[in-house]
Structure 1
Amino acid sequence: MAAFTLAHLSDPHLPPLPAPRLFDLAGKRAFGYMNWTRNRHKFHRRSVLDQLVADIQAQAPDHIAITGDLVNLALEAEFAPARAWLESVGAADRVTVIPGNHDTYVRVTRHRFAEAFGNYLSSDVARSGGSLFPLVRRRGPLVLIGVSSAVPTPPLMATGRLGPSQLEALDRVLAALAGEPAFRVLLIHHPLRSNSRVKRLTDSFELLALLRQYGVELILHGHDHVHSTIWIDGPKGAIPAIGVPSASALAHGRYPAAAYNMFEVEGEGAAWRCTQTVRGIDDSSRVQQLQTMRLL
């Protein structure tokens, strides 16, 4: 079987932020707007994001996964530009996207992500109870399983949650896939382990229990804006869970410059081989290959 390549980027936080109307800046958005104008706008650059996407397209992956935070404050005016950007990345059959906490920043527009990017969220299997998640997309030897940890939270909080109904549906999806000779990739915005009370996945214990029971081959996430790899217990061994920096970021403080991961998958059944290549902005402000490693 020929190798299948999957590119993963996350947290583009699409700049620039449209000018908000005065009544948009109530509650949590007021804090977020202050943070953007005083801090975040210095480090999230559209030119950096465009440079990274151009490099991904030059690598010609078979599929692209984006694990959330396309927008910043979930303003109504952010979704049309984000949709145009997403279409420039690739067609809906070649790109899979899930939401991040900034995409559902406030309750009043939490529905807009699904409306704006619906065909990028389409599932190849029937969904239960009318819920969008989990979504399942079969691409070559891969089965992409997308879940949503994105929920509106109070000011200064960025926690995530799957909730009982989504966990129950995910249980059914993973059980159905357990006997298939497929390379299963779980897409989620929040990391499965976090030391941060304000950024953690609050029902990670329940998700980790499902993964111990059924397993997947690879977990991809964003949210923390850093390179990270941890190993999660699965029924047949450890599962790599890999995070990536923001796709629009300049290096600042402890946060690295924008990067993405390319995964090359080949094999079948229990004999999978997966290689990770990290490509990102280097000190000369060009996209370069930074690291390659064998995961499986």
Structure 2
Amino acid sequence: MFKLAHISDVHLGPLPDLTLRQLMSKRITGYVNWHRNRRKHLFGDTLELLIDDIATHEPDHLAITGDLVNLATDIEIEAASRWLSTLPDPATVSVVPGNHDAYVPGAIEKTCGKWAPWMRGDGFESATLTPSQTFPYVRIRDRVALIGVSTATATPPFMASGFFSDRQARELANHLKDLDARGFFRVVMIHHPPIRGAIASYKRMIGIRRFAAVLHMAGAELVLHGHTHLNTLYWLNGKQRRVPVVGISSASQGPGGNRPNAAYNLLEIDGEPGAWSLNRKRYSLGDDGKTIALAHQDALINPGSA
């Protein structure tokens, strides 16, 4: 059995002190939002509790589906790199960026540079890659193939949308076909939910139809996303069977907010091509803010199901 843990929307805090020049951009809206809303419920020790609890299950891999930072300042990007370094070996942790990691023009290039050890495909461990060269990336771990896709792009104020390009669609389709022929369980990691109506239009993913067409043509076994700060399960039509699309709440969300408490998914993958099994367990922070317990479990793929 391969155990894959999944967290998202880390939003490492607190915000650093910002200069007036740094605030003269879209960052001013995020700065105000943080101090009015997120600061109250994104508690510093919540993330540590979650990571410690994940470690007790000894997962084979950890997937992080974006939004490690808030305003994508240089200080935040560097701090996130240091935080990632506290996790197990980069070979066992895979990251895709979110809209907050590309908050302003130029930020995504910096995040790809600083977080490269956690966002590079096999065979590119020592390469210096641009964002367009980085995604989609592929990592093979045992019988599981992890494919990282980026929807992160700088947007105007009051927008949090993502973009899935034609180029990524073509390359993702090629990867999925190749990995299917080689008998791997394929996990696609993406930040924005590739589901129409899953979130408000100003936060949506542009290219949803394009993504759905890729899955319908090439198939996949699982899609993991973040962005909504909700615990959700959707389905997309794949080549041979429906594909579960799984979201998770913010890994830093404390009790008392208008979103579910922090949680993580533990996905248990077993079987073989044509007879895969996928069981999901969701562990959530209690309302006491101190304990984490199993909140939900289900079977997303039964052996031999079509």
TM-score interval (norm. to shorter): over 0.9
The size of the alignment, in residue pairs, is: 294
Question: How far off is 1:129 after superposition?
Answer: 10
Residues 1:162 and 2:164 are matched in the alignment: yes
Deviates more, 1:246-255 or 1:10-19: 246-255
Are residues 77 and 65 of structure 1, via their aligned partners in 2, closer, same or farther at CA, if it must alter by over 3 Å? same
Q: Residue 144 of structure 1 contacts residue 185 of structure 1 at CA under 8 Å; is this kept in 2?
A: yes
1:223-242 → structure 2 map (5 Å cutoff): 223-242=227-246
Question: How far off is 1:251 after superposition?
Answer: 3.4
Stretches of structure 2 lacking an aligned partner (at least 5 in a row): 302-306
Post-superposition Cα deviations, 1:108-153, rounded to whole Å, max 9, x if no partner, equal 3221111111111121267999610000000111000100000000
1:14 maps to 12
Question: Normalising to structure 2: TM-score of the pair?
Answer: 0.93
3-state SS of paired residue (2:245): strand
The code of the aligned residue for 1:115 comes to G
Post-superposition Cα deviations, 1:32-88, rounded to whole Å, max 9, x if no partner, equal 101111111111111101110111112110000000000000011101211111111
Alpha-carbon separation, structure 2, partners of 1:98 and 1:61: 19
Alpha-carbon separation, structure 1, partners of 2:130 and 2:85: 28
1:1-296 → structure 2 map (5 Å cutoff): 3-124=1-122, 131-195=133-197, 196-285=200-289, 286-296=291-301
Question: How far off is 1:89 after superposition?
Answer: 2.1
Are residues 121 and 15 of structure 1, via their aligned partners in 2, closer, same or farther at CA, if it must alter by over 3 Å? same
Alpha-carbon separation, structure 2, partners of 1:247 and 1:129: 25
Alpha-carbon separation, structure 2, partners of 1:202 and 1:113: 21
The code of the aligned residue for 2:62 comes to I
Q: Residue 229 of structure 2 contacts residue 248 of structure 2 at CA under 8 Å; is this kept in 1?
A: yes
Question: How far off is 1:254 after superposition?
Answer: 3.8
Alpha-carbon separation, structure 1, partners of 2:85 and 2:255: 27
Are residues 194 and 15 of structure 1, via their aligned partners in 2, closer, same or farther at CA, if it must alter by over 3 Å? farther
4+ residue stretches of structure 1 with deviation over 6 A? 126-130
Alpha-carbon separation, structure 2, partners of 1:267 and 1:14: 36
Deviates more, 1:123-132 or 1:221-230: 123-132
Give identity over the alignment, percent: 39
Alpha-carbon separation, structure 2, partners of 1:17 and 1:81: 11
Stretches of structure 1 lacking an aligned partner (at least 5 in a row): none
Deviates more, 1:15-24 or 1:147-156: 15-24
Deviates more, 1:242-251 or 1:125-134: 125-134
Post-superposition Cα deviations, 1:139-179, rounded to whole Å, max 9, x if no partner, equal 11100010000000011111110212222221221222231
Alpha-carbon separation, structure 2, partners of 1:148 and 1:70: 14
Question: Normalising to structure 1: TM-score of the pair?
Answer: 0.96
